[in-house]
């Protein structure tokens, strides 16, 4: 593997030799302070989720989350989730609608055919509907392979924009995280927008 070391040194030497003008690191604080913000974050998030082709449901105190999920996805048979308890409006609820834990499968491909995955989001971004999901299972395929995705998100964890989001997120123990904004989409055939290219074709964010 001596060749690889050579390339590394050669590339770094070429960079150092060829770099001409050197620029200062910019200060982003003025931009971050001027960045867009919203008076009613919940309302803005619902609006932008709709625009991105998904939906946001504001869970009310006393609502049964299992009931809401079943209403939204009445035909879901194989329901994957690593969550067993969820705090809804300050009160803990048992999550009973999942039928299996995503890490209970022998290998990733066994997750094919999952109708619905219920996952926890950490932060939601009001300018674009992106929800940060830090992997909390070994089989991260569960975030992409299910036909539909239900994301449970604390309504107090909505931030205005990506600057705010990047201050808060991390990739967690599995070293993987992803912003997901609505369903998978493509416009590769004649620029016609189609949901459900490879990832989840339907996304609901339940704001608890």
Is residue 94 part of the contact set for other proteins (CB under 8 A)? no
Give how far the C-alpha of residue 124 lies from the chain's centroid of Cα atoms, to the nearest Å: 8
| Among the residue ranges 63-71, 89-97, 116-124, 161-169, the one whose residues contact other proteins (CB under 8 A) | 161-169
Is residue 156 part of the contact set for other proteins (CB under 8 A)? no
Exposure of 114 by Cβ count < 10 A (0-12 exposed, 13-18 middle, 19+ buried)? buried
In sequence order, the 6+-apart residues with CB closer than 8 A to the CB of 71 are none
Closest CB to other proteins among 73 and 143?
A: 143
Site string for other proteins, 14-43 (x = CB under 8 A): xxxxxxxxxxxxx-x-xxx-xxx-------
Exposure of 194 by Cβ count < 10 A (0-12 exposed, 13-18 middle, 19+ buried)? middle
Site residues (CB under 8 A) for other proteins, limited to 172-191: 174-191
Smallest gap from residue 195 Cβ to other proteins (A): 8
Smallest gap from residue 91 Cβ to other proteins (A): 32
Site string for other proteins, 122-151 (x = CB under 8 A): ---x-xxxx-------xxxx-xxx------
Is residue 104 part of the contact set for other proteins (CB under 8 A)? no
Smallest gap from residue 118 Cβ to other proteins (A): 17
CA distances from 103 to 54, 137, 140, 150 (A): 26, 6, 9, 18
Closest CB to other proteins among 157 and 177?
A: 177
# binding residues, other proteins (CB under 8 A): 78
Specify the 3-state DSSP secondary structure of 151: strand
Q: Report how far residue 79's alpha carbon sits from residue 94's, in angstroms, rounded to the nearest whole number.
A: 15
Angle at 114 between CA 108 and CA 117, to 5 degrees: 95
């Amino acid at each position: 593997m001596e060749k690889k070391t050579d390339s590394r040194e050669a590339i770094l030497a070429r960079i150092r030799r060829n770099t001409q003008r050197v620029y200062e690191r910019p200060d982003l604080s003025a931009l971050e302070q001027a960045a867009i913000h919203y008076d009613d974050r919940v309302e803005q998030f619902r609006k932008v989720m709709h625009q991105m082709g998904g939906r946001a449901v504001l869970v009310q105190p006393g609502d049964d989350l299992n009931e809401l999920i079943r209403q939204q996805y009445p035909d879901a048979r194989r329901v994957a989730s690593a969550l067993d308890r969820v705090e809804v409006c300050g009160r803990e609820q048992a999550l009973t609608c999942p039928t299996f834990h995503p890490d209970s499968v022998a290998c990733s491909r066994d997750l094919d055919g999952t109708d619905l995955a219920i996952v926890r989001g950490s932060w939601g971004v009001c300018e674009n509907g992106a929800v940060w999901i830090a992997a909390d299972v070994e089989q991260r395929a569960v975030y992409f392979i299910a036909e539909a995705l239900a994301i449970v998100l604390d309504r107090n964890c909505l931030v205005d924009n990506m600057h705010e989001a990047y201050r808060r997120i991390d990739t967690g123990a599995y070293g993987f995280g992803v912003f997901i904004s609505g369903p998978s989409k493509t416009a590769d055939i004649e620029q016609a927008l189609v949901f459900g290219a490879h990832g989840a074709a339907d996304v609901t964010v339940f704001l608890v």
